[in-house]
Amino acid sequence: MNIDWEYLIEKIERLMDLSEEFLSRKLADEVDVEPQMSRDHIAFRWNHEGVLEAVAYPDVPDPEDLLGIESILARLRQNTRQFVAGVPANNVLLWGERGTGKSSAVKCLLREFAAQGLRLVELQKEDLYHLPVITRALRPQPFRFLLFCDDLSFDESETGYRELKALLQGGIEAPPPNVLIYATANRRHLLPERFEANTGEAEIHPEEAVSEKLSLSDRFGITLGFYPVTQPQYLAIVRHLAARRELPVAAADLEREALQWALLRGGRSGRVARQFINDLSGRLALEQAERT
């Protein structure tokens, strides 16, 4: 008897994935959120056990360090300002190149708006099944919550995006007025578009398949694009960060080493610039310690 072992293993792995998804959906039924916890902390993490954990040491970047995306930050702050003021605001999708500041743009909002009641809840893609539970727990709280989904995208076999679509728009339950979704992604469309979906080879009505894939990202009221960093922008970020840390390096040497670092990393971005400055700062600090 001939057995297609590759096909069989693939089916077993898929069954295991479905079982894990089912178990994750059953982990949390209801969650109690103490208002005092939101008074004492500004950032939280929803863990895989269905518990809202306070983050004792949140990463809150300085927006002054996010060069080259000033217009994006202004649009994001304006929407967030409306949200904390209790007037209509939109869910936001930040998409684009890796390392261009999407996550930092969201996290830095706490620096300006935490005192006005803004709280950030980090939520992994695997935990989107808990969205109804999370929103029920947060709805009565006297704070404004951003559900932060970082690096969001879905495969065609995943179903967790349906809960996200319902919360964004389209479910029978009205979204909580004190909860918004701010998500980041490396691509504009969160569901993959296959070539056959556009040619009609797999669908009688291929336009409906394409529409289904686009409908998730379209439910975000605001989409902000982050684009590749040019060499002048990259060097400007490097010079800015070096000045902030008061690194004793000649400008020509700084730029030469920064370009070499970017070449070894295979690209330029704000993240690469920060990694270079971290490395340079460490090397200079060790050299200084060895001389004394």
pLDDT in tens, 40-77: 999 999 987 778 899 999 999 999 999 989 999 999 99
The backbone torsions φ and ψ at residue 225, rounded to the nearest 5 degrees and listed phi first, read -95, 135
User: Quick one: pLDDT at residue 49?
Assistant: 76
User: Quick one: pLDDT at residue 205?
Assistant: 42
User: Quick one: pLDDT at residue 195?
Assistant: 45
CA 104-134-46 angle, 5° bins? 50
**DSSP tally for the chain: helices H, then strands E:** 12, 7
User: Quick one: pLDDT at residue 97?
Assistant: 87
- Residue ranges of the chain whose pLDDT lies below 70: 1-32, 154-163, 170-171, 188-216
Question: Contact at 8 Å (CB) between 182 and 92?
Answer: yes
Q: Is 214 helix (H, G, I), strand (E, B) or coil?
A: helix
**pLDDT tens readout for residues 13-29:** 666 665 555 554 444 55
User: Quick one: pLDDT at residue 20?
Assistant: 57
